[in-house]
Structure 1
């Protein structure tokens, strides 16, 4: 089997992404052929500041964005603009089938904002760029969590839960994640509402589940689970995929359990995109520390594994 070609967007160059890319190039090159969306000038500047040697076969490309002076750990519009341009180039390569997939290194949302980027993050941008309802799924082979709502204020979550939208989400998730065991769906309220005593959103969630089951023709989703026990060892033994109603409901337990190895996968798109599940780590950027690269390596391995795991065939 030939190696897949993957475009890697380098993220915010004031953070740790470029160090991850340089330090782990030899490791990931055993899995895929990497094309880095950074020009030689910026790469050499970063490598010099990191005191790292650039691997001989490190593929770069010119004309990404305006050059700037890297300032470790600093939020800047220049770094935000370069990070977005790197991401846009990777998407372009995937759209036109010049690469098989993309992996994104961490960006800083405020830097994107300062640069005039209209999106809160990669997933928001991918939805607009492909006019598709991208689903954010994070995790590791031991446990994946998909988010029904993502980067919205907590006070807006309950109002965002409606039968039509959640039904479509469940169907898209089933079609693109292709889970081969039952999927755990979390309720919104404490005790999953206690039959309406603590909230009625679970009734909407159950209606959406019933709708999805009728269309799918099989019962793949659980009834709304009590959130505070859904991640206990006894319950986790029954599930590898969870659907959370909001960001921290799903990601707090996931990161408590599998922080170092988790990845981010964008489902329901015409391209395959994976990402590290951590931020720019400005506090340790360019300080000569050896970084934990497990999330980055797992994001690459997920792409390679798509041809090796039938549960994930042809879902993008």
Structure 2
């Protein structure tokens, strides 16, 4: 294949993952070569694929497939817990290949966490946490990135009611440090500017709408500014995401999942990329789920997956 390829884990085969993988290969397979990890019988009928024994197989016009065994057939829009072990194994194999240096980076297609838990006792809130476990990392950071916005939530897949307890000074500091380092290393921004949202409406408005902004967030920012990190905040989240505000920073650190994901999915729903920062390898993913409602209909758009492939390819250079 010439340069080391990317590897792509198949995700839930009952979702849109297999069909957008084929569309992405047809669109940019020569530009960003990748090998698909999954069960060939889950690919769309009639698609052109080629089973390969490893990542050193020569390039061909067909989608290269490194087979992973699955227990059952895939029925569009109907997740099957019997396939949970195969989904997890595809991710594990992808991590193994990228950690060994055989692959340039890992791109993961969407999973269905409830099916994984039901079928294989999957004990992780999502991909990000599982990848951290496989890599032996204490903390990693989830970034959602597009051409118009990069956002990083400090807390991720937890109920909103748990956020104030999970939002600690250490978690915030680690998130900012990992984000700052990644902007320099992976995005080649020499002097990153990071905007930090407050937790409460109007960033607490001097304590009248909550104390965390002043007592927890502000001291962390002050300490890191003293080290030379360019930080703005804590800022009211409701005024951080219009165009003039976005021009003043390179990434926005937010306090919880929806505070970060609502703006980027509004601005770049089909082009957003999920990037895991802090891993010892490159991992990206499309910024959408399994889309069971349209799976198997041939209408799913591969835009976000294509963006994820291009970002992984550039980051893995």
The alignment's TM-score, normalised by the length of structure 2, stands at 0.89
Q: Does 1:256 align with 2:261?
A: no
Distance in 1 between residues matched to 2:270 and 2:42, nearest whole Å: 28
Which moved further from structure 2: 225-234 or 98-107? 225-234
Q: Is the 8 A contact 2:142 2:275 kept in 1?
A: yes
Task: Tell me what 1:172 maps to.
Answer: 178
Pairing partner for 2:287 from 277, 282, 298: 277
Moved >4 Å (runs of 4+): none
Task: Tell me what 2:234 maps to.
Answer: 224
Q: Is the 8 A contact 2:48 2:63 kept in 1?
A: no
Task: Tell me what 1:75 maps to.
Answer: 79
1:307 Cα deviation after fit: 6.5
Distance in 2 between residues matched to 1:45 and 1:278, nearest whole Å: 20
* Alignment deviations for residues 225-260 of structure 1 (CA, whole Å, 9 cap, x no partner): 001111122312212310010000111111111111
Task: Tell me what 1:200 maps to.
Answer: 211
Distance in 2 between residues matched to 1:158 and 1:283, nearest whole Å: 34
Distance in 2 between residues matched to 1:95 and 1:236, nearest whole Å: 35
* Alignment deviations for residues 141-162 of structure 1 (CA, whole Å, 9 cap, x no partner): 2211011000011011112222
Q: Is the 8 A contact 1:185 1:243 kept in 2?
A: yes
1:31 Cα deviation after fit: 2.1
Q: Does 1:122 align with 2:122?
A: no
How many residues are aligned here?
298
Pairing partner for 1:186 from 197, 213, 218: 197
* Alignment deviations for residues 108-157 of structure 1 (CA, whole Å, 9 cap, x no partner): 11111112211121101012112211100002022110110000110111
Q: Is the 8 A contact 1:47 1:53 kept in 2?
A: no
Task: Tell me what 2:165 maps to.
Answer: 159
- Structure 1 residues 4-83: aligned runs within 5 Å: 4-38=4-38, 42-48=39-45, 51-54=46-49, 56-62=61-67, 64-83=68-87
Distance in 1 between residues matched to 2:308 and 2:233, nearest whole Å: 31
* Alignment deviations for residues 184-209 of structure 1 (CA, whole Å, 9 cap, x no partner): 10000011001111111112111111
Q: Is the 8 A contact 2:74 2:80 kept in 1?
A: no
SS in 1 for 2:63: coil
Q: Is the 8 A contact 1:31 1:304 kept in 2?
A: no
Pairing partner for 1:142 from 148, 159, 173: 148
Task: Tell me what 1:96 maps to.
Answer: 100
Task: Tell me what 2:306 maps to.
Answer: 297
Q: Does 1:306 align with 2:315?
A: yes
Q: Is the 8 A contact 2:193 2:249 kept in 1?
A: yes
Q: Is the 8 A contact 2:156 2:257 kept in 1?
A: yes
Distance in 2 between residues matched to 1:155 and 1:198, nearest whole Å: 16
The alignment's TM-score, normalised by the length of structure 1, stands at 0.89
Task: Tell me what 1:313 maps to.
Answer: none
1:30 Cα deviation after fit: 2.2
Gapped regions of structure 1 (runs ≥ 5): 309-316
Q: Is the 8 A contact 1:263 1:274 kept in 2?
A: yes
Gapped regions of structure 2 (runs ≥ 5): 51-60
SS in 2 for 1:297: helix
SS in 1 for 2:178: helix
- Alignment RMSD: 1.8
1:59 Cα deviation after fit: 1.8
